[in-house]
């Protein structure tokens, strides 16, 4: 616990949805309602690991369902056509169904990445 905290995400998952190493992320734990900000660090590819580190480890348990989000600021003109990248992960985070929703966003700040996991937190 003597660590400021971060979120380790398998490097292949980070690449698939466009999360950069050390990028700020907002996490929502759908299992317990916790919501927190931290930064993403890459973990080993192909293992499906999503790990709460440091103090954030107190905000989840193994098997919790997480939504991991990053944001982008874009010009209003671009925002009208901007769509988030979404990856919904399978059990153990090993397979991702990536898609773009059929919605247009009409704001200038938009969710860029949302990752739902159903086996995600290792404490």
Catalytic residue numbers read 6, 39
Question: Structure tokens of 81?
Answer: 């056509």
SS3 of 26-95: EEEECCCCCEEEEEEEEECCCCCCEEEEHHHHHHCCCCCCEEEEEEEECCHHHHCCCCCEEEEECHHHCC
Distance of CA 91 to the CA centre of its chain: 16
């Amino acid at each position: 616990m003597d660590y400021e905290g971060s979120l380790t995400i398998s490097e292949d998952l980070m690449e698939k949805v466009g999360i950069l190493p050390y990028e700020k992320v907002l996490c929502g734990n759908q299992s317990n309602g916790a919501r927190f900000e931290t930064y993403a660090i890459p973990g080993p590819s192909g293992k499906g690991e999503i790990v709460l580190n440091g103090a954030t480890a107190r905000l989840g348990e193994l098997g919790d369902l997480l939504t991991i989000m990053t944001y982008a600021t874009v010009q209003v003109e671009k925002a009208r056509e901007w769509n988030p990248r979404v990856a919904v992960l399978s059990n153990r985070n090993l397979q991702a169904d990536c898609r773009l929703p059929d919605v247009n966003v009409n704001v200038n700040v938009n969710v860029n990445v949302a990752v739902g996991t159903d086996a995600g937190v290792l404490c």
